[in-house]
Amino acid sequence: MARGHQKLQSQQKNAKKQAEAKKSKGHDQKAAAKAALVFTCTVCRTQMPDPKTFKQHFESRHPKSPMPPELVDVVA
């Protein structure tokens, strides 16, 4: 088992390694959320995560606009 100066060096080296791993990993919630928004409204450019939400949005916000072809067969 390491003692004294060798132990201190080992702890510092491990702390540096952990900090670099944490920094490089960098889980970004904003990027993950943005990647999940795959459907974009053609009228107002709002992004939605799934076709069901997209259809509900389109029916409530743009009732006079024609329904996009990708939403015609979606069950709300």
**Can you tell me the distance from the alpha carbon of 75 to that of 69, in angstroms, rounded to the nearest whole number?**
13
Hey, is 49 helix, strand or coil?
coil
Answer yes or no: is 48 within a domain. yes
Residue 48 pairs in a beta bridge with 39
**Can you tell me the distance from the alpha carbon of 58 to that of 48, in angstroms, rounded to the nearest whole number?**
11
- Full-model pTM: 0.56
Q: Which residues of the chain fall below pLDDT 70?
A: 1-2, 25-27, 76
Look at the chain and report how many structural domains it folds into.
Answer: 1
Domain of residue 37: give its range: 28-65
Answer yes or no: is 45 within a domain. yes
Q: Which long-range contacts (CB under 8 A, 24 or more apart) does 6-11 make?
A: none
Tokens of 44: 């107002």
Q: What is the pLDDT of residue 35?
A: 82
Answer yes or no: is 14 within a domain. no
